[in-house]
Structure 1
Amino acid sequence: MESRGLGISVIYGVIAIFIFAIVSSLIFSVLLTFTSLQESSLQYAVTTVSFISLFAGGFITGKKGKEKGWFIGTATGLIYSAIIFLFQYLGLDSLFSTEQIIYHICYIITAMMGGILGVNMSSSRT
Protein backbone atom coordinates (compact mmCIF):
# COMPACT_ATOMS: atom_id res chain seq x y z
CA MET A 1 0.00 0.00 0.00
CA GLU A 2 1.24 3.46 -0.72
CA SER A 3 2.24 5.85 2.05
CA ARG A 4 -0.90 7.95 1.56
CA GLY A 5 -3.05 4.94 2.43
CA LEU A 6 -0.95 4.22 5.50
CA GLY A 7 -1.25 7.85 6.59
CA ILE A 8 -5.03 7.78 6.19
CA SER A 9 -5.23 4.60 8.25
CA VAL A 10 -3.17 6.24 11.02
CA ILE A 11 -5.54 9.22 11.02
CA TYR A 12 -8.51 6.83 11.35
CA GLY A 13 -6.82 5.19 14.33
CA VAL A 14 -6.04 8.48 16.07
CA ILE A 15 -9.60 9.72 15.53
CA ALA A 16 -10.93 6.44 16.96
CA ILE A 17 -8.72 6.86 20.04
CA PHE A 18 -10.01 10.36 20.69
CA ILE A 19 -13.65 9.37 20.12
CA PHE A 20 -13.25 6.50 22.57
CA ALA A 21 -11.50 8.83 25.05
CA ILE A 22 -14.26 11.46 24.79
CA VAL A 23 -17.02 8.90 25.33
CA SER A 24 -15.25 7.27 28.27
CA SER A 25 -14.48 10.69 29.81
CA LEU A 26 -18.16 11.57 29.57
CA ILE A 27 -19.11 8.32 31.29
CA PHE A 28 -16.53 8.81 34.06
CA SER A 29 -17.56 12.43 34.61
CA VAL A 30 -21.22 11.41 34.92
CA LEU A 31 -20.24 8.71 37.41
CA LEU A 32 -18.20 11.20 39.45
CA THR A 33 -20.95 13.80 39.36
CA PHE A 34 -23.96 11.69 40.23
CA THR A 35 -22.49 9.07 42.54
CA SER A 36 -20.38 9.13 45.66
CA LEU A 37 -17.34 7.78 43.80
CA GLN A 38 -14.10 9.65 44.24
CA GLU A 39 -11.57 10.33 41.51
CA SER A 40 -8.97 8.21 43.26
CA SER A 41 -11.28 5.17 43.19
CA LEU A 42 -11.49 5.33 39.39
CA GLN A 43 -7.75 5.66 38.76
CA TYR A 44 -7.23 2.06 37.65
CA ALA A 45 -10.40 2.05 35.57
CA VAL A 46 -9.32 5.21 33.73
CA THR A 47 -5.86 3.74 33.11
CA THR A 48 -7.37 0.50 31.82
CA VAL A 49 -9.75 2.34 29.50
CA SER A 50 -6.83 4.42 28.21
CA PHE A 51 -4.86 1.32 27.29
CA ILE A 52 -7.92 -0.28 25.70
CA SER A 53 -8.55 2.82 23.59
CA LEU A 54 -4.92 2.93 22.39
CA PHE A 55 -5.06 -0.77 21.56
CA ALA A 56 -8.35 -0.31 19.70
CA GLY A 57 -6.96 2.68 17.78
CA GLY A 58 -3.90 0.67 16.80
CA PHE A 59 -6.11 -2.24 15.81
CA ILE A 60 -8.26 -0.01 13.59
CA THR A 61 -5.11 1.43 12.04
CA GLY A 62 -3.73 -2.04 11.30
CA LYS A 63 -7.04 -3.31 9.96
CA LYS A 64 -7.35 -0.28 7.67
CA GLY A 65 -3.67 -0.24 6.61
CA LYS A 66 -3.37 -4.00 6.00
CA GLU A 67 0.45 -3.95 6.17
CA LYS A 68 3.34 -2.80 8.35
CA GLY A 69 1.32 -3.13 11.53
CA TRP A 70 4.22 -2.39 13.85
CA PHE A 71 5.02 0.79 11.92
CA ILE A 72 1.54 2.24 11.60
CA GLY A 73 0.64 1.20 15.17
CA THR A 74 3.72 2.99 16.46
CA ALA A 75 2.88 6.03 14.33
CA THR A 76 -0.63 6.06 15.79
CA GLY A 77 0.71 5.96 19.35
CA LEU A 78 3.32 8.62 18.60
CA ILE A 79 0.78 10.99 17.04
CA TYR A 80 -1.58 10.50 19.98
CA SER A 81 1.24 11.20 22.46
CA ALA A 82 2.40 14.23 20.46
CA ILE A 83 -1.12 15.71 20.47
CA ILE A 84 -1.44 15.18 24.22
CA PHE A 85 2.03 16.65 24.78
CA LEU A 86 1.25 19.71 22.65
CA PHE A 87 -2.04 20.25 24.46
CA GLN A 88 -0.33 19.97 27.84
CA TYR A 89 2.67 22.11 26.88
CA LEU A 90 0.87 24.82 24.93
CA GLY A 91 -2.38 24.84 26.87
CA LEU A 92 -1.24 24.10 30.40
CA ASP A 93 2.40 25.25 30.18
CA SER A 94 3.87 22.07 31.65
CA LEU A 95 6.05 19.27 30.35
CA PHE A 96 5.47 15.54 30.81
CA SER A 97 6.43 14.18 34.20
CA THR A 98 8.51 11.01 34.45
CA GLU A 99 5.35 9.03 35.21
CA GLN A 100 3.61 10.45 32.13
CA ILE A 101 6.60 9.61 29.93
CA ILE A 102 6.43 6.00 31.12
CA TYR A 103 2.67 5.89 30.47
CA HIS A 104 3.09 7.28 26.96
CA ILE A 105 5.86 4.82 26.12
CA CYS A 106 3.48 2.06 27.21
CA TYR A 107 0.69 3.67 25.15
CA ILE A 108 2.89 3.62 22.07
CA ILE A 109 3.78 -0.03 22.64
CA THR A 110 0.10 -0.87 23.16
CA ALA A 111 -0.92 0.89 19.93
CA MET A 112 1.89 -0.95 18.13
CA MET A 113 0.58 -4.30 19.39
CA GLY A 114 -2.92 -3.31 18.27
CA GLY A 115 -1.57 -2.42 14.83
CA ILE A 116 0.20 -5.76 14.51
CA LEU A 117 -2.92 -7.66 15.53
CA GLY A 118 -5.08 -5.53 13.23
CA VAL A 119 -2.93 -6.37 10.21
CA ASN A 120 -2.92 -10.06 11.10
CA MET A 121 -6.71 -10.09 11.56
CA SER A 122 -7.21 -8.32 8.23
CA SER A 123 -9.21 -10.55 5.91
CA SER A 124 -8.04 -9.27 2.52
CA ARG A 125 -4.29 -9.83 2.71
CA THR A 126 -2.37 -10.37 -0.50
Structure 2
Amino acid sequence: MNTSTRRLMAMPLMAGITFALIWLAIGALLLSLLLHFTSMKESNLGMMAFIVHSFASFVGGFSAGKRAESKGWYYGSSLGVFYGLIIIIVSFLATDVSLSLHSFILLLTVLAAGAFGGMIGVNLRK
Protein backbone atom coordinates (compact mmCIF):
# COMPACT_ATOMS: atom_id res chain seq x y z
CA MET A 1 0.00 0.00 0.00
CA ASN A 2 1.42 3.40 -0.87
CA THR A 3 1.69 6.29 1.59
CA SER A 4 -1.38 8.22 0.41
CA THR A 5 -3.61 5.15 0.69
CA ARG A 6 -2.34 4.45 4.22
CA ARG A 7 -2.95 8.07 5.21
CA LEU A 8 -6.49 7.96 3.83
CA MET A 9 -7.31 4.72 5.61
CA ALA A 10 -5.85 6.12 8.83
CA MET A 11 -8.54 8.80 8.92
CA PRO A 12 -11.28 7.15 10.98
CA LEU A 13 -14.38 8.57 9.30
CA MET A 14 -13.18 8.05 5.74
CA ALA A 15 -12.19 4.46 6.49
CA GLY A 16 -15.49 3.87 8.28
CA ILE A 17 -17.58 5.27 5.44
CA THR A 18 -15.60 3.17 2.97
CA PHE A 19 -16.22 -0.04 4.92
CA ALA A 20 -19.88 0.87 5.52
CA LEU A 21 -20.49 1.40 1.80
CA ILE A 22 -18.69 -1.84 0.94
CA TRP A 23 -20.91 -3.76 3.37
CA LEU A 24 -23.96 -1.95 2.03
CA ALA A 25 -23.09 -3.14 -1.48
CA ILE A 26 -22.58 -6.71 -0.23
CA GLY A 27 -25.88 -6.60 1.67
CA ALA A 28 -27.77 -5.21 -1.32
CA LEU A 29 -26.32 -7.94 -3.52
CA LEU A 30 -27.31 -10.63 -1.02
CA LEU A 31 -30.83 -9.20 -0.72
CA SER A 32 -31.27 -9.15 -4.48
CA LEU A 33 -30.04 -12.75 -4.74
CA LEU A 34 -32.44 -13.80 -1.96
CA LEU A 35 -35.28 -12.03 -3.71
CA HIS A 36 -34.48 -13.69 -7.02
CA PHE A 37 -33.70 -17.25 -5.95
CA THR A 38 -36.05 -17.77 -3.00
CA SER A 39 -39.73 -17.26 -2.37
CA MET A 40 -39.04 -14.08 -0.42
CA LYS A 41 -41.62 -11.36 -1.07
CA GLU A 42 -40.80 -7.74 -1.86
CA SER A 43 -42.94 -6.70 1.10
CA ASN A 44 -40.25 -8.15 3.42
CA LEU A 45 -37.57 -6.01 1.82
CA GLY A 46 -38.16 -2.93 4.00
CA MET A 47 -37.20 -4.63 7.26
CA MET A 48 -34.30 -6.44 5.61
CA ALA A 49 -33.00 -3.10 4.29
CA PHE A 50 -33.05 -1.70 7.84
CA ILE A 51 -30.99 -4.68 8.97
CA VAL A 52 -28.48 -4.21 6.14
CA HIS A 53 -28.15 -0.47 6.88
CA SER A 54 -27.74 -1.14 10.60
CA PHE A 55 -25.07 -3.76 9.99
CA ALA A 56 -23.21 -1.56 7.51
CA SER A 57 -23.26 1.34 9.97
CA PHE A 58 -22.11 -0.97 12.78
CA VAL A 59 -19.16 -2.23 10.72
CA GLY A 60 -18.27 1.32 9.65
CA GLY A 61 -18.44 2.53 13.25
CA PHE A 62 -16.32 -0.43 14.33
CA SER A 63 -13.69 0.43 11.74
CA ALA A 64 -13.74 4.13 12.63
CA GLY A 65 -13.48 3.39 16.35
CA LYS A 66 -10.65 0.95 15.84
CA ARG A 67 -8.66 3.52 13.88
CA ALA A 68 -9.49 6.40 16.24
CA GLU A 69 -8.14 4.63 19.35
CA SER A 70 -10.37 6.79 21.61
CA LYS A 71 -13.85 8.35 21.57
CA GLY A 72 -15.34 5.42 19.70
CA TRP A 73 -18.90 6.55 20.42
CA TYR A 74 -18.09 9.96 18.91
CA TYR A 75 -16.53 8.62 15.72
CA GLY A 76 -19.13 5.86 15.41
CA SER A 77 -22.11 8.18 15.84
CA SER A 78 -20.55 10.74 13.48
CA LEU A 79 -20.14 7.96 10.95
CA GLY A 80 -23.77 6.94 11.52
CA VAL A 81 -24.99 10.48 10.82
CA PHE A 82 -22.87 10.81 7.66
CA TYR A 83 -23.89 7.35 6.46
CA GLY A 84 -27.56 8.06 7.12
CA LEU A 85 -27.40 11.39 5.32
CA ILE A 86 -25.71 9.75 2.34
CA ILE A 87 -28.45 7.11 2.18
CA ILE A 88 -31.23 9.69 2.52
CA ILE A 89 -29.71 11.95 -0.15
CA VAL A 90 -29.18 9.06 -2.56
CA SER A 91 -32.74 7.79 -2.03
CA PHE A 92 -34.07 11.30 -2.62
CA LEU A 93 -32.06 11.78 -5.81
CA ALA A 94 -32.59 8.27 -7.20
CA THR A 95 -36.26 7.68 -6.45
CA ASP A 96 -37.52 11.14 -5.47
CA VAL A 97 -38.50 9.97 -1.96
CA SER A 98 -39.29 12.87 0.35
CA LEU A 99 -38.27 13.11 4.00
CA SER A 100 -40.61 11.21 6.29
CA LEU A 101 -40.75 9.43 9.62
CA HIS A 102 -39.07 6.48 7.90
CA SER A 103 -36.05 8.68 7.11
CA PHE A 104 -35.83 9.87 10.70
CA ILE A 105 -36.05 6.32 12.06
CA LEU A 106 -33.33 5.22 9.62
CA LEU A 107 -31.10 8.08 10.76
CA LEU A 108 -31.58 7.19 14.44
CA THR A 109 -31.00 3.50 13.76
CA VAL A 110 -27.74 3.97 11.89
CA LEU A 111 -26.57 6.55 14.44
CA ALA A 112 -27.08 4.06 17.28
CA ALA A 113 -25.54 1.17 15.33
CA GLY A 114 -22.51 3.27 14.38
CA ALA A 115 -22.00 4.49 17.95
CA PHE A 116 -22.23 0.92 19.26
CA GLY A 117 -19.76 -0.29 16.63
CA GLY A 118 -17.39 2.56 17.47
CA MET A 119 -17.43 1.70 21.17
CA ILE A 120 -16.71 -1.95 20.44
CA GLY A 121 -13.98 -1.03 17.93
CA VAL A 122 -12.13 1.15 20.45
CA ASN A 123 -12.30 -1.49 23.16
CA LEU A 124 -11.13 -4.34 20.92
CA ARG A 125 -8.09 -2.39 19.78
CA LYS A 126 -6.35 -2.71 23.14
Cα 1:43–1:86, aligned 2, differ >3 Å: closer, same or farther?
closer
Residue in structure 1 matching 2:115, options 112, 116, 120 = 112
Write out per-residue CA displacement over residues 44-76 of structure 1, whole angstroms, 9 at most, x where no aligned residue: 443323222211110111001111112111111
- What TM-score do you get using the length of structure 1 for normalisation? 0.81
Cα 1:31–1:6, aligned 2, differ >3 Å: closer, same or farther?
closer
- What TM-score do you get using the length of structure 2 for normalisation? 0.81
Number of residue pairs matched? Answer: 120
Report the residue type matching 2:92 in the other structure: Y
User: What are the ranges of 5 or more consecutive residues in structure 2 without an aligned counterpart?
Assistant: 1-6
In 2, Cα distance between equivalents of 1:18 and 1:63: 17
Q: Name the residue aligned to 2:4.
A: none
User: What are the ranges of 5 or more consecutive residues in structure 1 without an aligned counterpart?
Assistant: none
C-alpha contact 2:17 2:79 (8 A) present in aligned 1: yes
- Note the C-alpha offset of 1:42: 4.7
Of all paired residues, the percent bearing the same amino acid is 31
Report the residue type matching 2:60 in the other structure: G
- Note the C-alpha offset of 1:112: 0.9
In 1, Cα distance between equivalents of 2:83 and 2:35: 26
Report the residue type matching 2:23 in the other structure: F
Q: Name the residue aligned to 1:39.
A: 42
